[in-house]
Amino acid sequence: MFAIPENWGELTARERQDARINSWALAQIEFASTEAEQGYRKRTQMIKNVVQLKKPERVPVMPWAGVYPAEYGGITVQEAMYDYEKLGDAWKKFNADFVPDCLVSAALIGPGKAFDMLDVKNYHWPGHGTPAGTSYQCVEGEYMTADEYDLLIADPSNYFMRSYLPRVLGALEPWQMLGPWTDIVELPFVGLALIPAGIPPVQQAFQKFLEAGQAIMEWISAVGPIEQTSVASLGVPPTIGGFTKAPFDTLGDTLRGTRGIMLDMYRQPDKLIAAMERIVPIAIDMGVRNATAHDNPLVFIPLHKGADGFMSNKDFEKFYWPTLKAVLMGLIEAGTVPYLFVEGGYSQRLDVITDPDIPAGHTVWMFDQTDMKEVKAKLGGWACFGGNVPGSLLKAGTPQEVEAYVKQLIDDVAQDGGYILANGAVLDNTTPENLHAMIDTGKTYGVYG
Amino acid sequence: MSQKLIDAITDMRENDALSITDEMLQSGTNPLDVLEACRKAMEVVGQRFEDGDCFVPELILAGEVLKQISEKAKPLMKEQAVSAKDLGKVVIGTVEGDIHSIAKDIVAFMLDVSGFEVTDLGVDVPPVKFVESVKETGAAVVGLSGFLTLAYDPMKATVKALKAAGLNEVKVMIGGGQVDEQIREYTGADAYGRDAMAAVALAKQWLGG
CB contact under 8 A, A140 and B100: yes
pLDDT-derived band at B75, boundaries 50, 70, 90: confident
CB contact under 8 A, A392 and B149: yes
SS3 B88: strand
* Distance between A327 CA and the closest CA of chain B, angstroms: 24
Considering the domain architecture, whether residues B125 and B43 belong to the same structural domain is answered as: no
| A236 φ/ψ angles, rounded to the nearest 5 degrees | -90, 120
**Which residue of A258, A313, A319 to mutate against B (max B Cβ within 10 Å)?**
A258
Which of A131, A311, A392 has the CB atom closest to B57's CB atom?
Answer: A311
Give me the residues paired with residue B12 across strands.
Answer: none
Within a domain: B117: yes
A392 and B CB contact within 8 Å: yes
Mean predicted lDDT score pLDDT of chain B: 92
Within a domain: B119: yes
Question: Looking at chain A, how many residues does it have?
Answer: 449
H/E stretch holding A367: strand A364-367
d(CA A339, CA B87): 48
Report pLDDT for A415: 94
* Distance between B31 CA and the closest CA of chain A, angstroms: 26
In chain A, residues with a C-beta closer than 8 Å to the C-beta of B49 are: none
Would you give the end-to-end CA distance of chain B in angstroms?
A: 29
Residue of A nearest to B183 (CA): A392
- From the list A203, A138, A123, the residue with the least C-alpha distance to A169 is A123
A431 and B CB contact within 8 Å: no
* Domain stops at, among B76, B99, B120: B76
d(CA A298, CA A105): 14
Considering the domain architecture, whether residues B63 and B109 belong to the same structural domain is answered as: no
Report pLDDT for A434: 97
Which of A140, A266, A344 has the CB atom closest to B102's CB atom?
Answer: A140
**Which residue of B14, B49, B56, B59 to mutate against A (max A Cβ within 10 Å)?**
B56
- From the list A177, A210, A209, A170, the residue with the least C-alpha distance to A194 is A177
Considering the domain architecture, whether residues B127 and B165 belong to the same structural domain is answered as: yes
d(CA B80, CA B31): 11
B152 and A CB contact within 8 Å: yes
B99 and A CB contact within 8 Å: yes
Considering the domain architecture, whether residues B199 and B124 belong to the same structural domain is answered as: yes
Considering the domain architecture, whether residues B203 and B116 belong to the same structural domain is answered as: yes
Considering the domain architecture, whether residues B135 and B173 belong to the same structural domain is answered as: yes
Considering the domain architecture, whether residues B106 and B191 belong to the same structural domain is answered as: yes
- The answer for A 280-309 residues in CB contact with B (under 8 A) is 309
B209 and A CB contact within 8 Å: no
d(CA B165, CA A361): 57
Residue-wise pLDDT tens for chain A (449 aa)? 999 999 999 999 999 999 999 999 999 999 999 999 999 999 999 999 999 999 999 999 999 989 999 999 999 999 999 999 999 999 999 999 999 999 999 999 999 999 999 999 999 999 999 999 999 999 999 999 999 999 999 999 999 999 999 999 999 999 999 999 999 999 999 999 999 999 999 999 999 999 999 999 999 999 999 999 999 999 999 999 999 999 999 999 999 999 999 999 999 999 999 999 999 999 999 999 999 999 999 999 999 999 999 999 999 999 999 999 999 999 999 999 999 999 999 999 999 999 999 999 999 999 999 999 999 999 999 999 999 999 999 999 999 999 999 999 999 999 999 999 999 988 899 999 999 999 999 999 999 98
CA distances from A32 to A35, A40, A231, A236 (A): 8, 11, 9, 12
d(CA A381, CA A360): 7
A128 and B CB contact within 8 Å: no
In chain B, residues with a C-beta closer than 8 Å to the C-beta of A431 are: none
Residue of B nearest to A310 (CA): B56
CA distances from B9 to A158, B62, B84 (A): 38, 7, 20
B11 and A CB contact within 8 Å: no
In chain B, residues with a C-beta closer than 8 Å to the C-beta of A389 are: none
Considering the domain architecture, whether residues B119 and B72 belong to the same structural domain is answered as: no
Within a domain: B50: yes
B60 CB-near residues (< 8 Å, 6+ apart): A258, A259, A262, A263, B106
In order, the DSSP letters of B10-23 are HTT-HHHHHHHHHH
In chain A, residues with a C-beta closer than 8 Å to the C-beta of B97 are: 130-131, 134
Cβ A313 vs Cβ A349: under 8 Å:
yes
In chain B, residues with a C-beta closer than 8 Å to the C-beta of A393 are: 182
In chain B, residues with a C-beta closer than 8 Å to the C-beta of A390 are: 178, 180, 182
CB contact under 8 A, B12 and A266: yes
pLDDT-derived band at B79, boundaries 50, 70, 90: low
- From the list A311, A315, A247, the residue with the least C-alpha distance to A276 is A247
Considering the domain architecture, whether residues B70 and B105 belong to the same structural domain is answered as: no
Within a domain: B109: yes
Considering the domain architecture, whether residues B198 and B113 belong to the same structural domain is answered as: yes
In chain B, residues with a C-beta closer than 8 Å to the C-beta of A344 are: 177
H/E stretch holding A275: helix A269-293
Which of B57, B96, B177 has the CB atom closest to A262's CB atom?
Answer: B57
Around Cβ B161, how many Cβ atoms within 10 Å? Answer: 17
Of the CA atoms within 13 Å of residue A283, those in its CB half-sphere come to 28
CA distances from A111 to A77, A79, A136, B148 (A): 11, 11, 12, 22
CB contact under 8 A, B183 and A395: yes
pLDDT-derived band at B83, boundaries 50, 70, 90: low
- In the predicted structure, residue B66 carries a pLDDT above the cut 70: yes
* Domain stops at, among B76, B109, B131: B76
Size of interface A-B (CB pairs under 8 A): 93
Which of A259, A262, A392 has the CB atom closest to B178's CB atom?
Answer: A392
B96 and A CB contact within 8 Å: yes
pLDDT-derived band at B82, boundaries 50, 70, 90: low
How many domains is chain B partitioned into structurally? 2
* Domain stops at, among B76, B101, B124: B76
Q: How many separate helices (H) and strands (E) can be counted in chain B?
A: 9, 5
- In the predicted structure, residue B85 carries a pLDDT above the cut 80: no
Domain of residue B137, CATH code: 3.40.50.280
CB contact under 8 A, B55 and A396: no
d(CA B72, CA B85): 21
Domain of residue B70, CATH code: 1.10.1240.10
- From the list A356, A355, A377, A379, the residue with the least C-alpha distance to A366 is A379
CB contact under 8 A, A395 and B177: no
Name the residue range of residue B137's domain. 88-207
- From the list B196, B56, B13, the residue with the least C-alpha distance to A259 is B56
Which of A130, A266, A392 has the CB atom closest to B57's CB atom?
Answer: A266
Within a domain: B131: yes
Within a domain: B27: yes
Considering the domain architecture, whether residues B94 and B178 belong to the same structural domain is answered as: yes
Within a domain: B83: no
* Distance between A30 CA and the closest CA of chain B, angstroms: 38
B100 and A CB contact within 8 Å: yes
* Distance between A400 CA and the closest CA of chain B, angstroms: 15
Give exposure, A90-107, as e/b (b: 16+ Cβ within 10 Å).
Answer: bbbebbeebbbbbbbbbb
Within a domain: B181: yes
* Distance between A208 CA and the closest CA of chain B, angstroms: 28
| A227 φ/ψ angles, rounded to the nearest 5 degrees | -65, -45
* Distance between B82 CA and the closest CA of chain A, angstroms: 30
Considering the domain architecture, whether residues B41 and B96 belong to the same structural domain is answered as: no
A404 and B CB contact within 8 Å: no
Cβ A289 vs Cβ A232: under 8 Å:
no
